[in-house]
Each structure stands twice: as C-alpha cells, then as structure tokens.
Amino acid sequence: MHRRSFLLLILATASAAFSPGSQSKTAPIVFKYEDFGPPAEVVSRERIDDLNLTLVTYSNGVHLTFRPSASEPGVFRLRLVFPVNGSHVRNTATRVAIDSDTRLVPNPFVAKEAAEILFLGNLRRHSHEEIHALLVKRQIEPEISVDNGTPQLTLKGPAAGLPFALRLVTAWLSDPLTEGPEQPPLVTAWLSDPTGPERIPLDPSGLKFRLLPMNPARLCVLQALSEAAGRDSRLGRIGAARTYITASDITDWLDQHLLRCPLEVGIAGDIDIDDVVKDAARNLGALAKRVPLPPQAPLIGPKKATRAQATSNTFPETLSMSCLLWPLNKNETPKETAAITVASAILRDALVRITTDAFKKPIDPQTWIHRDAVQRDFGFVVMVNSFASPVAGPLTDAILRTAVKFADVGVSEADFNRVRANVRQRRVTELTDNKWWLENVLWAAHTHPQVIEEAREHVSAIDALTATDVSTAAKLFTPKLAAAVILTGGMADRK
C-alpha cells in the first residue's frame, strides 16, 4: 500500500510568495472567476461508512472522493490527479540528445512541463503573480508532483478557503492562457545546487533544460526504474544530457490530455460533505465533459534483470548511491503486502546491525514499496543506500548476499514480533493522517477500487500475520532482481 512519489517538485515561485516579505501592499485583488456555467448533476453517490468515505461522480465525468476528519481542525487538503502516465505518450515525440546521438523519443517530461504551464502560468483574467497573491492571502499552499508522467496538484489551507480553491482549480482547467508573448512557458532545471531550481525562459529553438533530479537518491531510483523497464524511453534516465521540447509539444499535450482527460479529486479534512458536493458541482462539475484517455502504448513493465553503473555530475565524486529493485506481482493481497512490508523492515534492520558490527558506522538503507500511480503492476520493493565511493560496489554485493541469505533462512520469532509491532504502530498513525489518505486512497478510489480494501485492512492485515507469512514474503529477496544500479558522483570537491 505504501508508496512514495519520486518526482516531487515544490513550486519555487509559490514558496517565495509565502515568505514574510512577499505580501503586497497594493489594493486587494478580487478573483474574477465566479460563474463557470450550469452545475453538473450528481450521477452517483456512494457512502462507505466504515472508512468514512463518500464517492461522487458528476455528469461531466469528474470523480471526487471525500473524507471528513477532525485530525487537522480547520484545515482542508485537496489532491487532483490526471490519470495519464508514460503509457500514454506514444504519439508525443521529443528531440533528445544523448551523447552524440540525437533522436526522436516519446518523453513523459512534456507532461511535467504542461502541468507547470497550467499551474504556474497565467489565466486569461489573472497573472500568475495575482494568483500567488490570492493564495497567500488565503494561506493556501500549492504543490505539484509528477510520477512517471502523472501530474498531481495538492492544495492545503484553512477550511474556509476550500470554496476558493475549487474555483481556482476550475479556472486553471477551463481558462488557462497558453499562448501569446505575455505567457512565456518556463521549464525547470532540476539542480542539486543548494541555490535551488533554475528557471529557463523559452528559447526560439525550443525549451532547453537538463534532466537533473534534485538529489542523488531520486536520480538513482529513476535510473533503476528505467533499467527495470528495459531502458524504456518513457522513463527518464541518466545519459540524457539535454532535451529540446518545443512549445507545441507541450501545449498539444496540455490541450489533448490535461484539459480533457478524466479527473480524480480527493478532499480530506474539516469539511461538510453536502456543502462541498454542491460547491464542486458548480465548479469542477461545470468543466467540459471528460473524454476517455487515448489508447495506451504497450505497458511499461519489468524486463530481464539488469545491473548498471553510471556517473552523475550533480553530486560529489566521494559519494555513491545504490538502488536495488525486487519485482512485485500485481495481485498482492493486503495481507501479502503487509508481509512484504515487515520483511523489508527486518532486512533493513539486519543490514544496519551487520554494518555496525563490521565497520562501526552503519549504512542507513531506505526501503519502501513503489507502485506507479496509474499502472499499478509496475511495482517493486525499493532499497536505496549511500556509501563512500570506493566501497559502493563491494557493499552492494554484500547487501545482495545478505538479502539472499535472508530469503533462504527466513525470520526469527523475535524479529517478527518486534518489527511487526513497529509497522503496526506506524499504520495506526497513518489512518489518522489526512495526507496519507489523500495520497494513497482518495484520489484512486474510483479508478483503483482495490485501494479501498487495502485501507480497510491496513491494520488488520498486520494483525493477521505470522512469522511464517513473513518468511514466505522474504523469498522475494532472491538474486532475481529487477535492477541493481550503482550511481557514482562525478562532481569534483569545491575548495
């Protein structure tokens, strides 16, 4: 159930707008979008009492899932997901220069750039500076993330600001300014430099930016996912030195996908469902009728196991990262997923203990279950480690040997009881966390109804486990990896 979104991009301009000195002293700005047309009808409304969920479908095809919660008094959280991913980029060709080889490939990053134009750009009645001022006034925090070409928008703020948030999202999706000299598209250079992301304006030859993720760990995971998918060009990877994306590439994607495709919206927090259902009908419900997604290209999926090593100039040469991926099946039950989660945590603890005894300085493996936001069968257990560069290879081999031994021997009763208790407590806490519900359940409740059952069994699946169940799950950690990637820094030390 648990998953991380790897391509999180915090809106730099919005963050700047929230700084203490950013408040404008000019006349108050009045939001100019009030009436979006006839409201939608509610064509279905389903109540799931035991999880306190309400699922609503409007006549224009927009899906909303609500979960009132008092865990954050006076606060709302909204998450909007466009259920389109790398599998839908078949007809989007982008010029990519890889070393000396320039070729046309489908590129999921056009989805990211289209989302930035949509949510960082101007509306026809408001500049992006005015939008930021309106958000600041209402203390609403925006955030964009993109996972394998799946754009997601999150808004958080005082509950009284939710009606405005719904109107703003509707304005973004119905009246964006996507052309003209007053709307220069911007892109982000993902830099590890502590000065933050650098924004580069439109160039006549196309939008130019470097495919450099924000941190070494995320870069290593991206490379591993690409390797696991047989270097599928729909996944970003090391070696793409510069990408040229034309303005028409981005605006075509924006028009053909983001402004037309189905919408999945989750809202959690201190809300009155009946009021929000009526308000959303007047806003999101007034959008043009959603159209089905285009036919998918062949699904992104694991290919034969691979091991790769690469160098990145975005972090020091004294540091190396490794990312190991063990493939998951698409049909894990909640209990099986819980067993894998506990097994992963036990393996992690064993690695910390072994390296502490051997080197007096333990490694700190990070493990989690990753599933693609749209294509859920593209899933793995992920383990990421950081090392001093000279020992990256030998330590990665030692980790793999430990994992294979763990798969063979299984878990002890003592380790099982200790780790299961820790995982259970974390899951109990997650069920009180609006952010967890938003990211793992609410946005996906319509398109992936299995997440409802996973939430229902989030704790009971842990309670039902035995040490034998976890030992069976540990057999996942065999030499049959989906990918093993070692990423070595190439940046010379600055003195």
In tens, the pLDDT along 39-76 reads 999 999 999 999 999 999 999 999 999 999 999 999 99
**DSSP string computed for 5-32:** -S-EE--HHHHHHTSGGG---SPPPPP-
The structural domain count of the chain equals 2
* In a domain? residue 296: no
Q: What is the mean pLDDT of residues 183-210?
A: 34
Least confident of 9-23, 258-272, 426-440, 449-463: 9-23
Q: Both 421 and 358 in a single domain?
A: yes
- Average pLDDT on 106-112 reads 59
Distance of alpha carbon 273 from alpha carbon 341, whole angstroms: 34
Residues 193 and 60 in one domain: yes
Residues 137 and 279 in one domain: yes
Q: By mean pLDDT, which of 32-36, 170-174, 287-291, 479-483 is the weakest?
A: 479-483
Query: Would you put residue 15 in left (φ > 0), alpha (ψ -120 to 50) or beta?
Result: alpha
Q: Domain range for residue 114?
A: 8-286
Cβ neighbours for 150, distance < 8 A, ≥ 6 positions apart = 81, 82, 83, 84, 85, 111, 372, 373, 374
Instruction: For residue range 431-448, list pLDDT tens digits in order.
Output: 999 999 999 999 999 988
| Strands of 109-252, DSSP E | 141-147, 150-158, 186-189, 198-201, 207-209, 242-245
Amino acid 120 reads: L
**Residue 2 resides in a domain:** no
How far is it, in rounded angstroms, from Cα 415 to Cα 77?
37
3-state secondary structure of 430: helix
- Same domain for 101 and 196, yes or no, is yes
Q: Would you say residue 299 lies in a domain?
A: no
Asked whether residue 249 falls in the same domain as residue 386, the answer is no
**Count of CB atoms within 10 A of residue 252's CB?**
15
How confident is residue 203, by pLDDT bands cut at 50, 70 and 90? very low
Residue 298: inside a domain: no
Q: Are residues 282 and 312 in the same domain?
A: no
Q: Is the pLDDT of residue 99 over 50?
A: no
Domain check: are 451 and 332 in the same one?
A: yes
Which pLDDT value is given to residue 264? 93
The last residue of a domain, from among 258, 286, 314: 286
Closest CA to 56 of 274, 272, 261: 274
What percent of the chain clears pLDDT 70, i.e. is strictly above it? 72
**Residue that finishes a domain, picked among 232, 256, 286:** 286
Give the distance from CA 308 to its chain's centroid: 24
| Residues 225, 270 share a domain | yes
Considering the domain boundaries, does residue 297 fall inside one? Answer: no
126 found inside a domain: yes
Q: Are residues 321 and 267 in the same domain?
A: no
Q: In this structure, is residue 470 part of a structural domain?
A: yes
Angle, vertex CA 342, rays to CA 337 and CA 345, nearest 5:
125
275 with 243, same domain: the answer is: yes
- Average pLDDT of the chain to the nearest whole number: 78
> Looking at the structure, do residues 131 and 239 belong to the same domain, yes or no?
yes
| CA distances, 361 to each of 217, 354, 355, 403 (Å) | 20, 10, 7, 20
SS3 call for 50: helix
Q: What is the CATH number of the domain that holds 74?
A: 3.30.830.10
pTM above 0.85?
no
Q: Note whether 166 and 21 are same-domain residues.
A: yes
How confident is the model at residue 395, as a pLDDT? 85
Contact assessment for residue 339 and residue 470, using Cβ atoms and an 8 Å cutoff:
yes
- Among 54, 461, 112, smallest CA distance to 268 is for 54
Please report whether residue 102 resides in a domain: yes
* pLDDT tens track for 390-420: 778 888 888 899 999 999 999 999 999 999 9
What is the 8-class DSSP label of residue 248?
Answer: H
